[in-house]
Chains A and B, each alone.
Chain A
Amino acid sequence: MLIMTSQWLIGLVYFFAAFLLIFGLWRMSSPVTAAGGIHVAGWGMAAAVIVSFLYVFSVSEAARPHLPVNVSLALVALLLGGGAAWWSGRKAAMTAMPQMVAIYNGMGGGAAAAIAAMELFGGRVFDLSALAGTLFGALIGAISLSGSLIAWARLDGRINKPLHMKGLQLINALLMLVTLCGRRLADGGHARRTRFVERRAVVDRCVLRLRAVVWCADDVAHRRCRHAGGHLPSTMPSPAWRSAWKGLCCRFRP
């Protein structure tokens, strides 16, 4: 009963948070309402983070003894990471904003890669399609992290020439091979597989839903920026679609 209620509540608040995030992004795309938009999106994010702690009621049997440690780890990580980034974002000079955005972007990539690593460590990935998906996520996240770090270093004036190394491609190929082989060694047993089946579906649904929301929100932002005369590349396929979208934007302009 408690599990049902908490999952129902999580779903409801995630839906509401998704709405707030999209609405916030939509407001951010117009200069008049932009400042309010980020606050709306911020409330959405805060609600989603807080309600995620309700997940403690539906963790798997294997994770139950570790629950107090996990919850305190999560709280410490949230406070530490959020606090440090908030402080640096507030303190940085206005001219240093591009590199700050670059490093925060890299942190997001690093988080995605760490999530993929967690999936692999936990033995939750055992069939080929899930493995391919997780590795792809890890790869994209890691590339995003390293690329953003280099972008940050170059914007900050720490690196003045393009980063190039002899045999870089060979190193990359070796790393990829190690990634693929290392997985075989870390294969979990049967108990872990059943646990995977139990929990994977819930996590997948939540993450996929949120990812879809982010895609939609990004798309909306791009199109609205385009409409406002921005220079973002258009994703609209034809002029007819574009004019229809413009009409829609005008009608619902906040």
Chain B
Amino acid sequence: MSGSNFIRGIVVIGGLIGLLDAASVAEQAAGFVAVLLGAGNAAGGYAVTGRMLAMFQTSAPEPKRREAHHSATRKPEKV
């Protein structure tokens, strides 16, 4: 979920393009807020997701299953 949240931070690009194209103070203010919030979403989402996944990694039961899966797929090749 927080991974998708990070991807949502892509709105920062829309804010950046709009801000660079701003021609009035109102536009600049709105663009500044957009980039500020968008960058916050992206950076915060990245930090939180990274921490969560780092925690996730230590107790990964998946590798065994993966090996089993691989050997299962390899068997027919040998025959």
Among B19, B31, B33, B55, chain A packs the most CB atoms within 10 A around the CB of: B19
Name the B residues within 8 Å of A150 (CB-CB).
none
Q: Is the CB of A25 within 8 A of B8?
A: no
Chain A contact residue count (CB 8 A cutoff): 75
Rounded to whole angstroms, the CA-CA distance of A156 and B55 in the bound complex is: 22
Q: Is the CB of A206 within 8 A of B13?
A: yes
Given contacts A74-B16, A86-B47, A119-B18, contact A110 B24 (CB under 8 A): no
Q: How large is the interface on B (under 10, 10 to 19, 20 to 34, 35 or more residues)?
A: 35 or more
Nearest-CB distance from A42 to chain B (Å)? 5
Q: Is the CB of B44 within 8 A of A118?
A: no
Rounded to whole angstroms, the CA-CA distance of A104 and B63 in the bound complex is: 32
Q: Is the CB of B3 within 8 A of A28?
A: yes
Residue in B7, B40, B56, B66 whose beta carbon sits within 8 Å of that of A41 in the complex:
B7
Residue in A25, A67, A71, A92 whose beta carbon sits within 8 Å of that of B4 in the complex:
A25
B residues sitting closer than 8 Å to A (CB atoms) are 1-24, 26-28, 30-57, 60-63, 66, 69
A residues sitting closer than 8 Å to B (CB atoms) are 21, 25, 28, 30-32, 34-35, 37-39, 41-42, 45, 48-49, 52-53, 55-56, 59-60, 62-63, 66-67, 69-71, 73-74, 76-78, 80-86, 88-90, 92, 94, 97, 100-101, 103-105, 107-108, 110-112, 114-115, 117-119, 121-122, 199, 203, 206-207, 210, 213-214, 217-218, 221, 253
